[in-house]
């Protein structure tokens, strides 16, 4: 069952489009119900679900790659980090806002990019394809939830953007260290966050890597990611503000007694 193969969904086909539309609709419905629950419970529970999902993935990979471990599947990609952040969220009161912003920006960005460029999502192995679709759908739900669950009177300030950017830089630095340490053992296949000395195996970044080296390629990736994270954080805040404005209850005029 684990090694059952299928014909992967072709990128940008009608099946791909319908699947994305269905997943978006499902995410909106789920978020509507999640908003009624306690935030720490929701995010912490999602963290546990992601851990179970990751364990299943590693089991799948072990059965598929019997000749050795696939270093590129170490769970520290941009789409893997939300798992750790969700687990520490209930315990880290002072970091909760920053974690929420990260999930609503970089976490959501990872899900959007994965479905928009689905070459790694739609695998030829049925189990891996299902696992990947479920994982990124959870990230999408998590990002939308973190946008929708912000209180009406809470506004985003410049510090929110700065802390969010710094958290990504910290995680990117850890990813580069992992890639550098495993460069030899993994034969250059360890590419957490698509950063570091290993070839990124990503469109455009590969060309920059070949022409200018890994430092320039990594800097370009970090700059693009930071810009994307800030943009999504801004768009999320703007959408939330507009929704609250249009859903505001009309003021009831009180008639003065004669």
Under 8 Å between Cβ of 100 and 82? no
Tokens found for residue 210: 């070949």
C-alpha neighbours within 13 Å on the C-beta side of residue 37: 15
Under 8 Å between Cβ of 140 and 111? yes
Beta bridge partners of 125: 5
Number of separate domains in the chain: 1
User: Cα–chain-centroid distance for residue 231?
Assistant: 15
Residue 252 lies in a domain: no
The answer on pLDDT for 19 being more than 90 is: yes
Residue 148 lies in a domain: yes
Residue that has been written with the tokens 């974690």 in this structure: 99
Beta bridge partners of 5: 125
Under 8 Å between Cβ of 239 and 147? yes
Query: 165 Cβ partners below 8 Å, 6+ apart?
Result: 226, 229, 230
Window from 16-20, 22-26, 153-157 with minimum mean pLDDT = 153-157
Q: How would residue 255 be classed by pLDDT, with cut points 50, 70 and 90? A: very low
Residue 258 lies in a domain: no
Under 8 Å between Cβ of 12 and 2? no
Tokens found for residue 43: 């995010």
Question: Rounded distance, CA 122 to CA 15, Å?
Answer: 11
> Residue 201: phi, psi to the nearest 5?
55, 45
Q: How would residue 253 be classed by pLDDT, with cut points 50, 70 and 90? A: low
Residue 8 lies in a domain: no
Which of 139, 140, 120, 108 is CA-nearest to residue 9? 120
DSSP 125: B
Window from 35-49, 83-97, 228-242 with minimum mean pLDDT = 228-242
Residue 177 lies in a domain: yes
What pLDDT does 153 receive? Answer: 77
User: Cα–chain-centroid distance for residue 164?
Assistant: 14
Residue 255 lies in a domain: no
The number of residues in the chain equals 258
Residue 234 CB neighbour total at 10 angstroms: 13
Residue 5 lies in a domain: no
What pLDDT does 252 receive? Answer: 47
Which structural domain, as residue segments, surrounds residue 176? 14-246
What pLDDT does 163 receive? Answer: 96
What pLDDT does 258 receive? Answer: 44
pLDDT tens, position by position, 92-149: 999 999 999 999 999 999 999 999 999 889 988 888 899 999 999 999 999 999 999 8
Q: What is the average per-residue pLDDT within 61-89?
A: 87
C-alpha neighbours within 13 Å on the C-beta side of residue 86: 27
Which of 149, 27, 36 is CA-nearest to residue 89? 149
Q: What is the average per-residue pLDDT within 225-229?
A: 97
DSSP assignments along 14-29, one per residue: HHHHHHHHHHHHHHHH
What pLDDT does 100 receive? Answer: 96
Window from 61-65, 74-78, 97-101, 122-126 with minimum mean pLDDT = 61-65
Coil, strand or helix at 5: strand
Residue 253 lies in a domain: no
What pLDDT does 142 receive? Answer: 97
């Amino acid at each position: 069952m684990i090694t059952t193969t299928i014909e992967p969904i072709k990128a940008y086909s009608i099946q791909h489009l319908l699947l994305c539309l269905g997943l978006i609709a499902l995410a909106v419905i789920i978020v509507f119900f999640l908003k009624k629950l306690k935030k720490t419970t929701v995010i912490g529970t999602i963290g546990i679900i992601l851990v179970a999902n990751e364990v299943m993935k590693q089991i799948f990979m072990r059965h598929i790659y019997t000749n050795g471990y696939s270093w590129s599947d170490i769970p520290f990609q941009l789409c893997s980090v939300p798992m750790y952040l969700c687990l520490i969220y209930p315990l880290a009161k002072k970091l909760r806002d920053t974690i929420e912003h990260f999930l609503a920006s970089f976490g959501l960005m990872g899900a959007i990019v994965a479905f928009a460029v689905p070459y790694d999502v739609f695998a030829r192995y049925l189990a891996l394809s299902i696992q990947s679709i479920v994982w990124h759908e959870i990230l999408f739900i998590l990002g939308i939830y973190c946008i929708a669950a912000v209180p009406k009177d809470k506004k985003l300030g410049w510090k929110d953007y700065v802390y969010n950017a710094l958290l990504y830089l910290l995680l990117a630095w850890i990813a580069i260290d992992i890639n550098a340490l495993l460069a030899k053992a993994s034969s250059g296949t360890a590419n957490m966050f698509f950063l570091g000395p290993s070839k990124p195996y990503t469109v455009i970044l590969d060309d920059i890597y070949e022409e200018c080296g890994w430092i320039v390629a990594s800097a370009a990736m970090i700059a693009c990611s930071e810009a994307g994270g800030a943009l999504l954080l801004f768009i999320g805040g703007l959408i939330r503000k507009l929704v609250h404005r249009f859903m505001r209850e009309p003021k009831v005029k009180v008639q003065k007694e004669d």
